Amino acid sequence: MDLDYMSVREILEVMNMEDAGVVNAVKASLDSIERLVAQAAKTLASSGRIIYAGAGTSGRLGILDAVECPPTFGVSYDTVVGVIAGGENAFIRAKEGAEDDLEGGEADLKNIRLSSGDLVIGLTASGRTPYAIGAVRYAKSIGCCTGAVSCNGNAEISKCVDIAVELKTGPEIIAGSTRLKAGTAEKMVLNMISSVSMIQNGKTYKNFMVDMKSTNFKLEKRTVNIVMKAAECSEETAVQMLEAAHHDAKTAIVMIKASVSREEAKALLEAAGGRAGKALQLVNQEISH
């Protein structure tokens, strides 16, 4: 209550102390997060989409997570999608009242041609945002699996979905400013949903981003480094094999570690469902037999 009388250092210490509790709030919800992530992985494996629906900060965080998946994991921009109350312009300029549009979530999901094989996750710090609730209700009505991430216990949206994640982050140091602890907690969970579901679908080898797209000089260099580390080879070999693999890091790694051609590496990866580690296990099994 004395926030405006505090020094800069005192405010920073209070914020830091409060933020430390976010990690525990997420940890306390790992069981429900696990169920939601498992469903997300299953959805991707079945060629469905992960769709986030939210308003304000929650909507922006959903879009942020979605747009970072293609460059990180090499998926299309239709694989993980974020919709926000008020449309794309609301990402950079708040559109007051849009979050209260119960029909808006349904309309936006219809606009992206929602299908029953998609997973729709409503994002709402308060747990009662009409836009997010409208979105998950519509999704459920056409047979989608639905989830929700909120920052209150007994959230209204939790009653509308198959898998509810409730992050009990508590009051914000600026009362009601859910872009703070609540936003941080939501971002942490979104990181888990997208990252772990992609890992489960073979988008990494060990902890390397082997499906990353090399769209600039920095990423080209990073791709070479990934191949060097993952395949335990020299830079010269990594560059040569990447060229032979048409600049596909995952294929290059299998080519190097299994001593096979590009075509053979591709066939191994296809047989392994796109998982480089499993592809290499298949090679080892063939050798042992």
Q: How far is CA 87 from CA 65, 98, 203, in A?
A: 17, 9, 30
For the sheet containing 145-150, what is the strand order? 80-84, 50-54, 119-124, 145-150, 163-166
Active-site annotation holds for 236: no
Active-site annotation holds for 68: yes
Residue 125 · residue 186 · CB < 8 Å? yes
Please give the Cα distance from 102 to 157 (Å, whole number): 12
Q: How far is CA 237 from CA 121, 147, 212, 245, 251, in A?
A: 43, 45, 19, 12, 14
- Using a 10 angstrom Cβ sphere, with 0-12 exposed, 13-18 middle and 19 or more buried, the burial of residue 276 is buried
Residues 10, 13, 18, 68: which is the catalytic one? 68
Collapsing DSSP states into helix, strand and coil, what is residue 246? coil
**Which positions ≥6 away from 59 have C-beta within 8 Å?**
52, 53, 82, 83, 84, 85, 90, 91, 123, 131
Residues 34, 88, 96, 99: which is the catalytic one? 99
DSSP lists the bridge partners of residue 122 as 53, 148
Residue 6 half-sphere exposure toward CB, CA atoms < 13 A: 12
Where are any strands of DSSP class E within 113-184?
119-124, 145-150, 163-166
| Tokens 């056409």 -> residue | 142
Q: How far is CA 133 from CA 85, 119, 137, 176, 200, in A?
A: 12, 14, 6, 20, 28
Q: Which residues are catalytic?
A: 68, 99
